RNA sequence: GCUCCCGUCAUCUAGCGGUCCAGGAUACCGGCCUUUCAAGCCGGCGGCGCGGGUUCGAAUCCCGUCGGGAGCACCA
């Protein structure tokens, strides 16, 4: 029984979206669960793209989520290289061998001709796939096409009859009729190879034995299976590997089994894409979602353990995750639930850890230095317990506590209009006086002093606390007042209360 | 058009013939608490797409139907 080897093989797009992240996670979990290996491969066959930068976004997102890879970019490994753009010699050799063995053939139609053929087929209600026009060309015909200046593509000859079946780990038995599967291109006219070929070659060459990917590739599977047969027949792939000095396949390599995950859809039930707004992992990071929550939530998008358990640590996920418990229908990416889970997780964080996780966000908001100054650190630590119940994402802390870090109060006009009126002037005057007299500057004493003001003026807490809150925070919303004031410098508090008295209308 | 996949509360799901007049979570609504905002606690609303079978018994099995999605590229 060979050890489980899974992979994640995105095209480098510069950023990792949540659908890709989930695919990566399921493969990572499947590998970790079995103590297997997780391979990270970059599929840039088509790319005149910026390989380095666009790969960087992927790599960073994977690292943020904690999805480490045993083989792949930056770590390399025994079956590389792990970028398809560095494996072109292999692919060329494989295509040549395929041609020679007869599994593939060269076809000379131009893209325009194919498009016309496709349109005609659609019009007449026939399947739009390749009709097989150049399946059996003679050498004379080939020469004639070449003389016209045509450049051939290479296609795989699919069987005309019979069917292919396989057992999907998630869906069970699936079957396709070969008659429905047209001859497909493995090498373009410019000599580059397509996904089908590169993917099949690499999965085999790297000994990948479990492939979990999106359901959109379910109907591509027969082609993959056919390629595996062709590649394995007469050791075609092994010879290509050896002849071109690529590492051989693992000794116990077996062709992969498949597990097709349901699609992840947006609020409109359409497959997730850029137009759904923030679907990039990095965007969720910026909004203040914790990586362990993202992992937990993504795992739950399609997978479940039992009727009631929803919270899992990463180790628990590794322990419990199996592909056969992945569901079959599309899952909606429900950010409301994500938020709730994130908020729950924040409540579990200790003061020091929450303060530490908050620091980069407040730094980005221009409120805290990097690293935090001792005074800022003290505030962060003191604010952490007050913030914990009030935020669902780390970025939400900023508007609540910005006034603690700023020199000047930024007043919310609506709050001023609502709370700095009527007897607010009396309240502020009295508050300034009693707070100046408070012995020990702590929450308990401050609360007592403010309650005294309320009693003296025969007002409720609401009528006394709100004017003070607006005076100090500039807003009608803040963490609990006495606790927050206690964290601030007394003179600063008094000065703000004094200054606000002129605003009372 | 053809092929394949899918269909339990608004959402994510548990459910693999009786223990389900369907359980949990999120969202929503109401109450309590209350110095703002939250949090917390209590309570509530709400679902097996439809139609036939099979069976003593079906959310669970079969057939059909409707609906949704994907694929049919010199994109991955």
pLDDT at A48: 56
Q: How many residues does chain A have?
A: 505
Q: Which helix (H) or strand (E) holds A332?
A: strand A331-332
| Beta carbons of A120 and A257 less than 8 angstroms apart | no
Does any domain span residue A127?
yes
* Judgement on whether residues A282 and A423 belong to the same structural domain of the protein: no
| Beta carbons of A155 and A130 less than 8 angstroms apart | yes
Domain boundary at A226, A261, A296, which?
A: A261
pLDDT band at A47 (very low <50, low <70, confident <90, very high): low
Residues 290-309 of A with CB under 7 A from strand B: 300-302, 304, 306-308
Q: How far apart are CA A129 and CA A122, in angstroms?
A: 9
Does any domain span residue A408?
no
Q: Which one is catalytic: A100, A274, A347, A421?
A: A274
Give the count of beta carbons closer than 10 Å to the beta carbon of residue A373: 11
- Summarised one tens digit per residue, pLDDT across range A108-117 is 999 888 888 8
How large is the C-alpha radius of gyration of chain A? 32
A45, pLDDT greater than 80: no
Does any domain span residue A153?
yes
The per-residue pLDDT of chain A, averaged, comes to 92
Shortest CA–C1' contact from A337: which nucleotide?
B26
Q: How far apart are CA A75 and CA A53, in angstroms?
A: 17
* Judgement on whether residues A256 and A394 belong to the same structural domain of the protein: no
Q: How many domains does chain A have?
A: 4
* Judgement on whether residues A138 and A38 belong to the same structural domain of the protein: no
Q: Is residue A463 flagged as an active site residue?
A: no
A49, pLDDT greater than 60: no
Does any domain span residue A406?
no
pLDDT at A215: 92
pLDDT at A176: 92
pLDDT at A471: 95
Nearest protein residue to the C1' atom of B6, measured from CA: A329
Does any domain span residue A21?
yes
Q: Which residue has the higher pLDDT, A271 or A169?
A: A169
Give the count of beta carbons closer than 10 Å to the beta carbon of residue A98: 25
A488 CB-to-strand B distance under 7 Å: no
Is the ipTM beyond the 0.90 threshold?
yes
Nearest protein residue to the C1' atom of B74, measured from CA: A188
Question: For the purposes of burial, counting CB atoms within 10 Å of the CB of A251, is it exposed (0-12), middle (13-18) or buried (19 or more)?
Answer: exposed
Nearest protein residue to the C1' atom of B23, measured from CA: A307
pLDDT at A105: 95
Q: Which nucleotides of B are covered by protein (CB under 7 A)?
A: 1-8, 11-15, 23-27, 34-40, 68-76
| Beta carbons of A106 and A153 less than 8 angstroms apart | yes
Does any domain span residue A142?
yes
pLDDT at A50: 52
* Judgement on whether residues A103 and A218 belong to the same structural domain of the protein: yes
Domain boundary at A235, A261, A287, which?
A: A261
* Judgement on whether residues A243 and A120 belong to the same structural domain of the protein: yes
Please write down the HEC assignment for all residues of A180-247.
Answer: HCCCEEEECCCCCECHHHHHHHHHHHCCCCEEEEEHHHHHHHHHHHHHHHHHHHHHHHHHHHHHCCCC
Domain residues for the domain of A292 are 5-80+262-335
Q: Which residue has the higher pLDDT, A354 or A276?
A: A354
Does any domain span residue A379?
yes
Domain boundary at A335, A361, A388, which?
A: A335
pTM across the whole model: 0.93
């Amino acid at each position: 029984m060979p050890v489980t080897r899974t992979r994640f093989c995105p095209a480098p797009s510069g950023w990792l979206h949540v659908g890709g992240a989930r695919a990566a996670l399921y493969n990572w979990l499947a590998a970790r669960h079995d103590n297997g290996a997780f391979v990270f491969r970059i599929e840039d066959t088509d790319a005149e793209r910026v390989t380095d930068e666009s790969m960087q976004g992927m790599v960073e997102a994977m690292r943020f989520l904690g999805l480490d890879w045993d083989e792949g970019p930056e770590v390399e490994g025994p079956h590389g290289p792990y970028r398809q753009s560095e494996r072109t010699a292999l692919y060329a050799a494989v295509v040549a061998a395929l041609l020679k063995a007869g599994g593939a053939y060269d076809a000379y139609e131009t893209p325009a001709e194919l498009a016309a053929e496709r349109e005609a087929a659609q019009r007449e209600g026939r399947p739009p796939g390749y009709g097989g026009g150049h399946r059996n060309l003679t050498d004379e015909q080939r020469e004639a096409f070449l003389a016209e200046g045509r450049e051939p593509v290479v296609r795989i000859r699919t069987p005309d009859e019979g069917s292919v079946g396989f057992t999907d780990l998630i869906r069970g038995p699936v079957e396709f009729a070969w008659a429905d599967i047209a001859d497909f291109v493995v090498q373009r006219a410019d000599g580059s190879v397509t996904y089908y070929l590169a993917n099949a070659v690499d999965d085999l060459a790297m000994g990948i034995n479990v492939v979990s990917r999106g359901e959109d590739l379910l109907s591509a599977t027969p082609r993959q299976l056919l390629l595996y047969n062709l590649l394995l027949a007469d050791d075609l792939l092994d010879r290509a590997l050896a002849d071109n000095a690529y590492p051989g396949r693992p000794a116990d390599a077996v062709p992969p089994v498949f597990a097709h995950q349901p699609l992840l859809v947006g609020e409109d039930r359409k497959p997730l894409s850029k137009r759904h707004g923030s679907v990039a992992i990095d965007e969720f990071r910026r909004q203040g979602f914790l990586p362990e929550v993202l992992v937990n939530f993504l795992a739950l998008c399609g997978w479940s353990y039992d009727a009631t358990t929803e919270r899992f640590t990463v180790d628990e996920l590794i322990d419990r995750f199996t592909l056969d418990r992945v569901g079959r229908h599309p899952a909606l990416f429900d950010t409301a639930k994500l938020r709730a889970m994130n908020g729950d997780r924040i409540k579990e964080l200790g003061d020091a850890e929450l303060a530490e996780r908050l620091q980069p966000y407040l730094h980005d908001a221009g409120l805290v230095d990097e690293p935090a100054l001792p005074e800022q650190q003290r505030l962060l630590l003191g604010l952490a317990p007050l913030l914990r119940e009030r935020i669902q994402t780390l970025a939400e802390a900023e508007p609540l506590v910005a006034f603690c870090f700023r020199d000047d109060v930024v007043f919310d006009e609506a709050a001023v209009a609502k709370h700095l009126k009527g007897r607010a002037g009396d309240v502020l005057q009295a508050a300034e006086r009693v707070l100046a007299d408070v012995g020990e500057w702590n929450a308990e004493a401050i609360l007592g002093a403010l309650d005294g003001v309320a009693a003296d003026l025969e007002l409720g807490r609401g009528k006394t606390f709100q004017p003070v809150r607006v005076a100090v925070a500039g807003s009608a919303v803040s963490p609990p007042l006495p606790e927050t004031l206690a964290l601030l410098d007394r003179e600063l508090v008094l000065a703000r209360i004094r200054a606000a008295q002129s605003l009372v209308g």
